[in-house]
Amino acid sequence: MSSSRPLQVDPPSRLHKAKRTMLIFIGKRLIYMLLTMFAISLILFLVMEINGEAVARRVLGPFTSAEQIQAWLEANGYLRPWYVRYVEWLGNVLSGDFGQSVRFRTPVSQVLWPRLGNTAILAGATFAIMVPLALTLGVLAGMREGSRTDRTITVASVVTTSIPEFASAVLLTVLFSTWLGWLPGTSTMSDGWNPVELILPVMVLVLYGFGYIARMTRASMAEVMQQLYIRTAVLKGLPYRTVILRHALRNAMIAPFTVIMLQINWLLSGVIVVEVAFAYKGFGSLILEAALNQDVYLLEAATMVAVLVAVSTQMLADVGYTLLNPRIRFK
């Protein structure tokens, strides 16, 4: 009787396992992101549109008669059950149809996307300057803990972070626009696109935001420099530059990475003060206009976009943090 040996299949390589595990991890995070978006959309709809008469008064005006409100509710389907309206509303949102803006009397998408693009330009310019500057200063301070360089960078970081954005905007406008006359004091872009008008807003945002990242990087770098493997590398005679670039820098970037990702949310919707101060037509000032004018549909669209950016950056932060920190496994 012949015995047949079972076929032996070679186990997948470590690289294949790592890729598969990472894809599963990303898939789970995507599911969490979608569930979060769904939950927030439901809460937003219930808060903003569960009371149809309130929506009608915001759209038609405070002096609208009861007959006009009733006619508007019937014409726009607000007399149907709320869950039916929610499903329809969610489908419209997913297709990019956010409704008609009360403030601008145009489709919301025609106002939202240009404003979001303007803020993306402002945020991108700020990010490109702020992050390298903060990381460089933080690493220099952490490498020389307790030195004059460390104390100078720490004091500068604390001072700039402590000054509110509106105060920095006023001071820089008075200095560079009123006294010196070097830069325009507003960023309306009324004469077309002008990069010079972005200089003051970017300066304000960089001054306010770089200090927190620099201090976080400094603390992380100082902690890494005290580790035994760093001292061992130095005692073995490795060049100091090699020790910093190959052994210390990656581990020191773990903590600041999460902070940097959180700055994206701040640069998107947290720059209302700067945009209003310089009359810049961006996403933050659009949210303020929508809130002041009770523009329901524009507020809903802006909220969903802000939440989408927030959960997306959080997912990227989780994936990046896990890749940077080898002690954390994908789950």
Contact 294, 58 (CB under 8 A): yes
pLDDT value of position 9: 45
The two structure tokens encoding residue 73: 């509710």
CATH code of the domain occupying 118-295:
1.10.3720
Q: Quote the DSSP letter at residue 183.
A: S
Q: What stretch of H or E contains 248?
A: none
Q: What stretch of H or E contains 32?
A: helix 14-49
Angle at 319 between CA 316 and CA 320, to 5 degrees: 80
Contact 159, 207 (CB under 8 A): no
Could you tell me the sign of the dihedral formed by the alpha carbons of 206, 208, 211, 213, in that order? negative
Total residues belonging to the chain: 331
Contact 205, 129 (CB under 8 A): no
| DSSP reduced 3-state for 92 | helix
**Which is nearest to 303 in space by CA: 311, 182, 209, 28?**
311
| DSSP reduced 3-state for 79 | coil
Domain layout of the chain by residue ranges: 15-94, 118-295
- Cβ–Cβ contacts within 10 Å for residue 283, how many? 27
Based on its alpha-carbon atoms, the radius of gyration of the chain, rounded to whole angstroms, reads 26
In the chain (331 residues long), the average pLDDT of successive 10-residue segments reads 48 64 79 89 88 79 80 83 89 87 87 90 91 90 84 89 86 88 80 82 90 88 83 79 78 81 79 87 88 87 90 82 65 55
Contact 190, 229 (CB under 8 A): no
pLDDT value of position 186: 80
The CA distance from 248 to 24, in Å, is 30
Angle at 142 between CA 140 and CA 144, to 5 degrees: 70
- Cβ–Cβ contacts within 10 Å for residue 209, how many? 27
pLDDT value of position 202: 92
| Percent helix, percent strand, percent coil in the chain, to nearest 5 | 75, 0, 25
| Axis-axis angle for helices 52-60, 66-75 (nearest 10) | 110
Could you tell me the sign of the dihedral formed by the alpha carbons of 217, 126, 303, 27, in that order? negative
The CA distance from 145 to 225, in Å, is 9
The CA distance from 206 to 133, in Å, is 9
Angle at 178 between CA 175 and CA 183, to 5 degrees: 75
pLDDT value of position 330: 52
The CA distance from 53 to 164, in Å, is 40
pTM of the model: 0.81
